[in-house]
Amino acid sequence: MYADVILPLPFSDLYTYSVPVEMRNKITRGSRVIVPFGNRKYYTAIVYKIKESASNDFKIKEIHSLSDSKPVVNEQQLKLWEWISFYYLSPLGDVYKTALPSSMKSEDLKSKFKPKTETYIRVNPELDPVNITGIIGRAAKQLSLYNQIEIILTYNKIEHISKKEVSELEGYSVSVLNGLVKKDILQTFEVETGRLNTAIKPTRKPHPLNEFQQKAFNEIINCFKSRHTCLLHGVTSSGKTEIYIHLIEEALSTGKQTLYLVPEIALTTQLTQRLQTVFGNKIGIYHSKINDNERAEIWNKMLSKEPYEIILGVRSSIFLPYQNLGLVIIDEEHEMSYKQQEPSPRYHARDTAIMLAHFYDAKTILGSATPSLESYFNTRNGKYGIVTLLERYGNILMPEIQIENTFELRKRRKMKSLLTPLLIEQMKLILENGEQVILFRNRRGYASLVECEHCAWTPKCKRCDVTLTYHKKRNRLNCHYCNASYTMPAVCPSCNSENLKTLGQGTEQLEEEVERLFPEYIVGRMDLDTTRGKDAYEKIIDDFQSKRIHILIGTQMLSKGLDFENVGIVGIISSDSLLNYPDFRSHERGFQLMMQAAGRAGRKNRQGKVIIQSADPDQPVYGYILNYDYDGFFNSQMAERKMFNYPPFSRLISIVLKHKTEQKVEDGSEYLAALLHQSFGDKVKGPSKPIVSFIQRYHLREILLKLDYSFSIKKTREIIRSAETIFHTKEDFKYVMIHFDVDKV
Ligand SMILES: [Zn+2]
Ligand SMILES: [Zn+2]
């Protein structure tokens, strides 16, 4: 008997081992096993297939041990892994590595996963209580502690008490307790307590839906009768979350599990509380800021007889072992952060979650105020159903949007700060009224460029071909590509001039400026630099919600579906930078970001305000934003995409080659492009130099494949794989790395 297993290695999809006799009745597909590999190395592997025979019998090693009594990966998960590996051109081992919490795949023999335990204390049940005082003798402190414990146990009718509680008793000390344990009067033992909080009780029923929400809810239920996937296109603040809560209730009532996906950890923070008030401990939270042992516990709970009925999480939560998934909610489905960039597999969590739902025969609801062009296109061609919700919840009006021409204002010397005079004036009014302000700037740090005024020297990263961003508070220059950090020179290293100027203002500079303009108000900042700690998001969001912060400055992180009640005005600073980068999706992204940012403004019964600062306000995209015209924007973009054959009219596969020698990557990319050209012809674009073509000491070249949707994925995969094999058998290119990014965003 043999087993094909998945190892966390990228070389081959499967590895064959023989199954020891004693394991034969226990091992199955999805089992976790420990196997030897190479010289004296062991790996945790997942059994993919059990089989009767194997070729090359003499070379085959034996499985060392079986880790659990039951499989830890179920059939649907394995199907999903296979699909990801197939579609995203990624080895199964990479998918396995991404899917399992690290403590479950630790490479040493003893599992790294340590259950959390608590020490308990009991009275030795074999002792006669009458004799105890005799044994204790004249140790008065021991007697006192013993008596207190005895009283608590008797009074509460319990057998044992936690050491923590004992330590709080009067006259307690470690030596007194140890004395009693040494005399075998008291005994200690460990109890596995788990890290998961199971005591949360629901405090409310779902709120009744208003007439518009109810109509949307009914339409969704109706849509699910004929379709698996439905898009809920609901404007910002239309109360989509409450509709989801009712859909979850519906799933629960039929005994089905729900997966609720959000694009950012920051969003789980706000949603957790809200969902817990309705669903209590039925809900589990899963994302990367949860420690690894806790993630392993959640995984195990999902395999148990009492799994979580609802999982709220970011993209990694699609990998959990669901038992009877019935509903998948993908909120803010347009967010590009659903796509994994590094490492492989570069999967899109939205598209993968739809596939996951398919394996469970579950329904998927996609939600957004600004749907991705792909999803909206899928409703037009009938693949998805669509439900539209145009009314904001509780009579909140859509904010009034105004565009300020900073180019004109600069010409007339009216711009004395990063903010236009109108925005400053409006902010003053809003703040005096007790309302709050949100300012967006899609660039973190203090300045994106430092330049010598004398010789035009600018600091660059030694490992990447990018200029460094200046972070003033830390007085460091940082590379936003590889995170390298450098000291800020006091004088120009090239000409010794002291005049180093900064250009391109980031969030840190905006914060400094706003603090100067509004000294009497508290300013907060939310970007990658301020949210590194585990609870950092929570703290900023909480401070803003409870009005300890009056003005919140942030990057796009702040636009993603966070709900605040008291925001009177939203300012978008340098909006053009959102539109002006060379990518066919830049306008889609800019439109979504600005509409989403605008959606943060608004209070009950009072219209919110949005001011967009642009130096080029004649761009057509601003017209669609001013009029809240999603359809108009969609149609104009689709015309362009069609003309240039971009997604959703084609499938885009990016192939990136990496090597430390530029010539090698140059020659290699030419060679690979030629190989691909034999099968794909003019669908092969490039090779070309990416905008940043040197990252972390590696030179990069990119080849793009723009394939028709009708072209078979299987065929595509075969051609690419065979080209890759031929490429790597060439001595010259053996060590040139190739990365695939299917449906690149
Ligand atoms: Zn200089
Ligand atoms: Zn760098």
> Cα dihedral angle (658, 660, 661, 666), rounded to 10 degrees?
10
Output the CA 458–ligand 2 centroid distance in Å. Answer: 14
Q: How far is the CA of 509 from the centre of ligand 1 (A)?
A: 23
CA of 706 from ligand 2 middle (Å) equals 30
Instruction: Decide if pLDDT at 533 tops 70.
Output: yes
Sign of CA dihedral 261, 265, 266, 270: positive
Measured in angstroms, how far is the CA atom of residue 469 from the centroid of ligand 2? Answer: 10
Average pLDDT, the chain: 91
CA of 511 to the centre of ligand 1 (A): 28
Kindly state the helix (H) or strand (E) to which residue 729 belongs, with its residue range.
helix 713-729
**Same domain for 319 and 253?**
yes
Pick the more confident residue, 389 or 58.
Answer: 389
Q: Do 555 and 528 meet the contact criterion of CB atoms below 8 Å apart?
A: yes
Q: Which residues pair with 657 in a beta bridge?
A: 701, 738
Does 199 score more than 80 pLDDT? no
The Å distance, Cα 507 to ligand 1 centre, comes to 26
Ligand 2 centroid distance, CA of 319 (Å): 32
Residue 131 has pLDDT above 90, yes or no: no
Interval 477-512: pLDDT, tens: 999 888 899 999 999 999 999 999 998 889 999 999
Q: Looking at the structure, tell me whether residues 73 and 53 fall in a common domain.
A: yes
**Cα 684 to ligand 2 centroid, rounded to whole Å:** 30
Q: Where residue 201 falls among pLDDT bands split at 50, 70, 90?
A: confident
643-656 average pLDDT score: 94
Between the CA of 466 and the centroid of ligand 2 the distance, in Å, is 7
Per-residue confidence at 598, pLDDT binned at 50, 70, 90? confident
Tell me 397's DSSP state. Answer: P
In this structure, the answer to whether residues 60 and 92 fall within a common structural domain is: yes
Average confidence (pLDDT) over 288-300 = 89
Whole-number percent of the chain with pLDDT over 90 = 68
The pLDDT score that the predictor gives to residue 687 is 96
Q: What's the pLDDT score for residue 107?
A: 67
Query: Ligand 2 centre and the CA of 493: distance in Å?
Result: 19
For residue 204, name the pLDDT band (cuts at 50, 70, 90).
confident
Last-in-domain residue among 43, 78, 105: 105
Q: What is the CATH number of the domain that holds 184?
A: 1.10.10
Check residues 702 and 148 and name the one with the higher pLDDT: 702
367, pLDDT greater than 60? yes
In a domain, 31, yes or no: yes
Q: Is residue 499 part of a domain?
A: no
Which ligand is nearest to the Cα of residue 496, counting in written order? 1
Taking residues 699-720, what's their average pLDDT? 94
- pLDDT tens, 37-83? 988 789 999 999 999 988 776 689 999 999 999 999 999 999 999 99
φ, ψ at 477 (rounded to 5°): -105, 125
pLDDT greater than 70 at residue 99: yes
The dihedral built from the CA positions of residue 267, 272, 277 and 282, taken in this order, carries a sign that is: positive
Report the C-alpha gap between 390 and 583 in whole angstroms. 30
C-alpha of residue 448 to centroid of ligand 1, in Å: 18
Q: Over the stretch 432-485, which tens digit does the pLDDT of each residue have?
A: 999 999 999 988 898 988 999 999 999 999 999 989 999 998 899 999 888 899
- Measured in Å, residue 490 CA sits from the centre of ligand 2 at 21
Q: Do 383 and 401 reside in the same domain of the chain?
A: no
**449 CA distance to ligand 2 centroid (A)?**
14
Number of domains in the chain: 5
Average pLDDT over residues 26-31: 96
Same-domain pairing of 615 and 517: yes
Q: Residue 447: in which H helix or E strand, if any?
A: strand 447-452
pLDDT classification of 237: cutoffs 50, 70, 90: confident
What number of other Cβ atoms are within 10 A of residue 568's Cβ?
A: 23
Ligand 2 centroid vs 718 CA: distance in angstroms?
35
Q: How far is the CA of 458 from the centre of ligand 1 (A)?
A: 8
Q: Which ligand is nearest to the CA of 469?
A: 2
> Looking at per-residue confidence, does 643 or 394 come out higher?
643
Q: How far is the CA of 459 from the centre of ligand 1 (A)?
A: 11
CA of 500, nearest ligand number: 1
pLDDT of residue 403 exceeding 60: yes
The pLDDT score that the predictor gives to residue 602 is 77
Q: Are residues 260 and 317 in the same domain?
A: yes
DSSP three-state, residue 667:
helix
Domain stop point among 335, 360, 394 = 394
Q: How far apart are CA 719 and CA 498, in angstroms?
A: 57
Taking the C-alpha atoms of residue 63 and residue 224, their distance in angstroms, rounded to an integer, is 46
Q: Is residue 275 part of a domain?
A: yes
The most confident of the ranges 157-161, 358-362, 399-403, 411-415 is 358-362
- Confirm whether 140 is domain-assigned: yes
Check whether 296 has a pLDDT greater than 80: yes
Residue-level pLDDT at 582: 79
Percent of the chain at pLDDT exceeding 70: 97
Q: Quick one: pLDDT at residue 115?
A: 67
- Are 180 and 220 in the same domain? no
In the reported structure, the alpha carbon of residue 701 is separated from the centroid of ligand 2 by a whole-number distance in angstroms of 17
How high is the pLDDT of residue 108?
Answer: 55
13 & 38 share domain: yes
Does 532 fall in a domain? yes
Burial class (CB in 10 A: 0-12, 13-18, 19+), 439: buried
pLDDT at 116 over 80: no
In a domain, 354, yes or no: yes
Nearest listed ligand to the Cα of residue 492? 1
Please indicate, yes or no, if residue 485 is contained in any of the structural domains: no
- Give 176's contacts (C-beta < 8 A, 6+ positions apart): 141, 142, 145
Q: Which range marks the domain in which residue 440 is found?
A: 396-444+506-641
157 and 33 belong to one structural domain: no
pLDDT mean over 212-232: 97
Q: What is the CATH number of the domain that holds 304?
A: 3.40.50.300
At residue 266 the predicted structure's pLDDT band, cuts being 50, 70 and 90, is confident
Reported as a pLDDT band with limits 50, 70 and 90, residue 114 is low
Confidence of residue 112 (pLDDT cuts 50, 70, 90): low
Structure pTM?
A: 0.86
Is residue 467 a part of any domain in this protein? no
Give the domain CATH number at 27: 3.40.1440.60
Out of 105, 129, 157, a domain closes at 105
For ligand 1, the distance from its centroid to the CA atom of residue 498, given in whole angstroms, is 8
With the C-alpha atoms ordered 312, 317, 323, 329, is the resulting torsion angle positive or negative? positive
Average pLDDT over residues 518-528: 94
- The mean pLDDT of 353-382, rounded to a whole number, is 97
Q: Are residues 282 and 345 in the same domain?
A: yes
Which listed ligand is nearest to 692 at the C-alpha?
Answer: 2
Q: Same structural domain for residues 273 and 298? A: yes
pLDDT band for 740, please (50, 70, 90 cuts).
very high
pLDDT band at 428 (very low <50, low <70, confident <90, very high): very high
Whether residue 425 is found in the same domain as residue 380? no
**Does 591 score more than 80 pLDDT?**
yes
Q: What is the CATH number of the domain that holds 728?
A: 3.30.70.600
